[in-house]
Amino acid sequence: MHSNGDHDGVDVTSWVSVCPGGLWKVQRKQTHEESQEIVSYSGDDAACSSSDCPRLGSLCRVRVRLKANMDGAESLVSEMGNEKLSDQSVAEMTEATPFPRCQDAVLQVPLGDWITLRLGEGQCDITEACVERMRAGQKTEILISRVENGQDVSAPAKAKLPLCATVELKSCTPGKESWEMSPDEKWQWVKSHKERGGVRFRSGDVWGAADSYSRALKLLITLRVHGREEEEKEQEAEEQRDTDTGDKTHQHPSANEVKSIKAELHSNLSLCQLKVNQPERAKASATKATLLEPGGAKAWYRMGQACQMLNELEEARKAFRKLLELQPESPAALKALKDIASIEKEDNAQLGLRLSKMFS
């Protein structure tokens, strides 16, 4: 994320967000006056205080709309109007609004309607990234453009690029930062992200799946450290107890469980990176998976595929041979090794032809 200010009292923040078809650059402009403003609603509408802005797990009532007028004379930052928002209160927000991710959309939310998002789920990366920097009652405007060399994503019909949209945050429920969560809470989030990644991958949302696996891995880093501390405390408490009451309200994942799921996530992420033609990253992710679980056949296969795409044939051969050790007579490994032999034979033939021409 990059942020800087200009001479007109406007902060410009930019970042890259994930859509089902690729990566998009988002630019948000905000006046200093707006950044200091907190708008509270009376009646059933509640607002987040400066110390209680949306955080992981917060239910956020938001509305996203495309701006039709993109003339340069129109300000990118507009103030909240006096519109009366008769909507559900914070107390009534108990679950996120269900809606599918679209393969040909940039903004992954129903436009023009008030919806409820759970921050951290990655349902719409652009909207969530905006909301986590806002307070209740704020409205901000963003410009969205394609990332150079990124995979093409179809923009909404008749929309000009860059897209200009407004994001409004009406209210939010309390959430937690990752360091405030218990190991159980983090573990539930990790499993949720992993499951969501699988659903997205099977639906063809490869970028979304990669995003889910990445979110899970980021939480696992903190869970592992916190988990060890909790385990030591639990062991000390166990030694002090004369008898085991059998009252176990917390089920912390073991070190082996954390290691296993981390390896699986790296392997799954490697597959996603192969699908979007990122062999260098796919190789790195597969390598991490094999170091964590040397017996993971899928990770060795994906490492071999990545090395083959990078034309690192000797490393690819080693990966596929390792796969054969784990799964003798594996059709995928045998075919891959045969393909590598054919490529090397062709390369040697061409090299021999060039050398013969040089000395003929």
For the stretch 293-337, pLDDT in tens is 999 999 999 999 999 999 999 999 999 999 999 999 899 999 999
Q: What percent of the chain has pLDDT over 70?
A: 70
According to DSSP H, which parts of 73-182 are helical? 125-131
pLDDT at 44 over 50: no
pLDDT for res 298: 97
**In the CATH hierarchy, which fold is given to the domain comprising 183-234+254-351?**
1.25.40
Q: What percent of the chain has pLDDT over 90?
A: 53
pLDDT at 79 over 50: no
pLDDT for res 77: 40
Per the listing, tokens 């990122």 go with 278
- pLDDT higher for 146 or 242? 146
For the chain, which residues make up each domain, given as ranges?
2-81+90-175, 183-234+254-351
pLDDT at 284 over 60: yes
Query: pLDDT confidence of 34, banded at 50, 70, 90?
Result: low
pLDDT digits (tens, 9 = 90+) for 340-350: 999 988 877 77
Query: pLDDT confidence of 20, banded at 50, 70, 90?
Result: confident
**What's the full length of the chain, in residues?**
360
Q: What is the mean pLDDT of the chain?
A: 80
Gyration radius of the chain's alpha carbons: 25
Q: Which of 109-123, 224-238, 278-292 has the highest mean pLDDT?
A: 278-292
| 162, β-bridge pairs | none
pLDDT digits (tens, 9 = 90+) for 150-208: 444 444 444 457 889 999 999 999 999 888 999 999 999 999 999 999 999 999 999 99
pLDDT for res 249: 53
According to DSSP H, which parts of 141-292 are helical? 183-202, 206-240, 255-275, 279-292
DSSP states along 63-88:
EEEE-S---TTS-S------------
pLDDT at 209 over 50: yes
Query: pLDDT confidence of 147, banded at 50, 70, 90?
Result: confident
pLDDT at 87 over 60: no
For residue 326, what are its two tokens? 């784990």
pLDDT at 124 over 70: yes
Global confidence as pTM = 0.79
Long-range CB pairs of 8-17, under 8 A, 24+ apart, other chains included: 9/33, 10/76, 10/77, 11/35, 13/133, 15/129, 16/147, 17/125, 17/126, 17/129
| 5, β-bridge pairs | 11
